[in-house]
Amino acid sequence: MNELMKIIVKGFGFALLVQSYSLAMEFLRPISAPYSSVATGTILELRDDVYSLDARLSTELAVCRQLSFYSDVSYRFFSYQWEILWRRQLHEMLDLQVNGFNESYLGMKWFPLEYVGVAANFRFVPGEGSQKERFPRWGLEPMAFYPISAFLYFGAAFGFYSFLERDNFQPGMEIGEKFSLVWKPFYKISTPNGLRISYVFLLRHRIQESKNLNMLPAYQKMDDEYSGFRMRVQIAYGLKSLPFEYGFAYEMNRGLFFGFETGHRMEFFLGTSW
């Protein structure tokens, strides 16, 4: 038991070390058992006529077959708002002067059974890389995945999310569902190298109205029980001569609340796992 506690403490310390140097937007991970990986990418994003450039770092450290710690992190280099009035050919570009760390995520994943587990995570407030006020958030996600074959995996998860009060404002609780599919056509398990395609679909619903606690009790509710979805398609190729994979991903959002604002994201990435 003492050895297990030492492993857990070391893993948590590693995750905190990574977290202290990088802050990020939430990464859509395919559902899987604990494993170790590091991935970095360059992200081009368009949301509400705002174009942004980010760098991402995602890490996961498996301290044993049942337990891992993970961190999803990014840094925003710039954001420009570009507006066009078609008939009169009026073009306007505005530098939003957003430069710095985004919001950050730190979590752990535990699989007491081979294909069934649970993840717990925490979202910190953002740095200078975000223009929006965001709130600390706890998340709990029961999950399961099933290998249909050696080359095809399916996963599903259900999430419950609660926010911490800040500046007399209390965001409402949210629930979510996530589904993922990983397909490895022309993949060599023995090497391993080859093509890997993954798809992740995330639904999120606010089931409780947010409250402005600065108002009288009768006027505190904000009528914001919104819903939204995110999807990510990723194509990666594992190199035969080196223990790395590179690839491209496309992500789309649609919704009315934070993290799901309608927009698009493209990413070029490089990663490794063990």
**pLDDT for 237-247, tens place per residue?**
998 888 899 99
Instruction: Tell the residue number behind the tokens 């977290």, with chain if given.
Output: 19
In sign, the C-alpha dihedral spanning 224, 137, 108, 77 is positive
Query: Which tens digit of pLDDT belongs to each residue from 57-95?
Result: 999 999 999 999 999 888 999 888 877 666 666 567 777
Q: How far is CA 247 from CA 27, 37, 77, 94, 205, in A?
A: 15, 15, 22, 32, 31
Classify 2-273 by CATH class. Answer: mainly beta
Q: Which helix (H) or strand (E) holds 83?
A: strand 67-85
**Are 58 and 27 a contacting pair, CB within 8 Å?**
yes
- Top pLDDT among 198 and 191 is at 198
The helix (H) or strand (E) run that includes residue 155 is strand 152-163
- How much is the pTM? 0.84
Q: Give the model's pLDDT for residue 94.
A: 77
27 pLDDT band, cuts 50/70/90, is confident
Q: Are 168 and 192 in contact (CB under 8 A)?
A: no
Residue 219 near residue 189 (C-beta atoms within 8 A): no
Closest by CA to 96, choosing from 107, 83, 113, 112, is: 83
What are the sequence ranges of the domains in the chain?
2-273
Give the pLDDT confidence of 216-229 residue by residue, as tens digits.
989 999 888 889 99
Query: What pLDDT is attached to residue 10?
Result: 43
